[in-house]
A and B are shown apart, each in its own frame.
Chain A
Amino acid sequence: MDGTEQVFNQIVKEYSERVYWHVRRIVNSHEDADDLVQDIFLKIWTALPAFRGEAQVYTWVWRIATNEALNWLRREKVRAALRFTSIDAEMERRIDSDPFFNGDAAERKLSKAVARLPEKQRQVFVLRYYDEMPYEEMSEVLGTSVGALKASYHIAQEKVRTALGGETLFDGTD
């Protein structure tokens, strides 16, 4: 096993689970999340020899993961349009038919509200609310200023709150 392979295995060990949960929140299906995680790590492996260490491994891995998740969403949007349906309807169908969804009605409602957010807002919301990533790290990963991220999260939060009928679901996440 050479050095690159060792580094890759370390990345797998350290990040695979977190990347899976992030992706799962974006795609709303275990099978698709599983496929996407494999694609992400294949990309990481392919790009690893070119990684020069200018960014932290953490930031680099998350950047690849979030980009791939965003690309997946865009592809899915096109696929949904070709089937004469909307991505929102498709996401709701996924949430309703997911055998690994154990939440109650309110949590299902929350998942659907998050799925209806515009793709970038959804990403910010998932990173902040579910993955609990600090704004500074999000800023490095997404290449957006902290101020813009806070504004984006605030807007997303308001949309979700409205979709839930004003119900408070946010336990201290600003």
Chain B
Amino acid sequence: MSKRNDISTPEGYFEGLQQRLSGIPARPVRVSPVRRLAPYAAIAASMLLAVTLGNALLRKTAVPQENDGWTYLSYLASALDPDGAALVDEATWEEEEGPYAEDIVNYLLADGITVDYLNYVNYEEGY
């Protein structure tokens, strides 16, 4: 079976084709709007990429601040109490420890229990 004779072209087609193809360099170059905008889109995309990468890099390399005012405790408090009525942070929490112990001592002294007696009880109970 022949491989090429089963299909043909119109008479003189290849001469005409060569002439048409040879005319391609003389054709005015049409630039589509998409192609015209492509460089600007590429610049915008690369800038966006640079900003995103820079941001990610900064987040990754930044040293965490020890007291940046936002801790797990304060996060938990705000989550439990969105109005912030009971909002406490670690600093406030620590400050409240002192007065609380002092209040207990004052309460006991007001009841007539002396510090010496408290020390004596601690000693007897092995504290």
Contact = CB atoms under 8 A, between A and B. Distances in A.
Q: Do A and B come from one complex?
A: yes
Contacts of B21: 12, 16, 37-38, 41
A17 B4 CA distance: 13
Given A38-B20, A171-B1, A102 B14 contact: no
Interface residues of B, number: 17
Interface string B91-121: 0000000000000000000000000000000
Nearest to B25: A5
Interface stretch (B5-13, B37-45, B69-77): B5-13
Contacts of A17: 14, 17
B14 A45 contact: no
Given A8-B25, A106-B1, A169-B1, A101 B6 contact: yes
Contacts of A21: 4
Interface SS majority for chain A = helix
B24 interface: yes
Interface string B2-37: 011111111000100110111011000000000000
A130 interface: yes
A134 B98 CA distance: 92
B9 to A, nearest CB: 6
Contacts of A4: 25
B9 A30 contact: yes
A16 B17 contact: yes
A130 B3 contact: yes
B2 to A, nearest CB: 8
Given A5-B25, A169-B1, A171-B1, A100 B18 contact: no
A169 B22 CA distance: 38
B1 A130 contact: no
Given A100-B7, A111-B6, A129-B3, A45 B24 contact: yes
B35 to A, nearest CB: 11
Contacts of A24: 7
Interface string A2-24: 00110011001100110011001
30 contacts: A5-B25, A8-B22, A8-B24, A9-B22, A12-B22, A16-B17, A16-B21, A17-B14, A17-B17, A20-B9, A20-B14, A21-B4, A30-B10, A38-B21, A41-B21, A41-B24, A42-B24, A45-B24, A45-B25, A98-B7, A100-B8, A100-B10, A102-B7, A102-B8, A103-B6, A104-B6, A108-B6, A110-B1, A111-B6, A169-B1
Interface of A: 4-5, 8-9, 12-13, 16-17, 20-21, 24-25, 30, 34, 37-38, 41-42, 45, 98, 100-104, 106-108, 110-111, 129-130, 169, 171
Closest 8 CB pairs of A and B: A103-B6, A107-B6, A12-B21, A41-B21, A5-B25, A100-B8, A45-B24, A9-B22
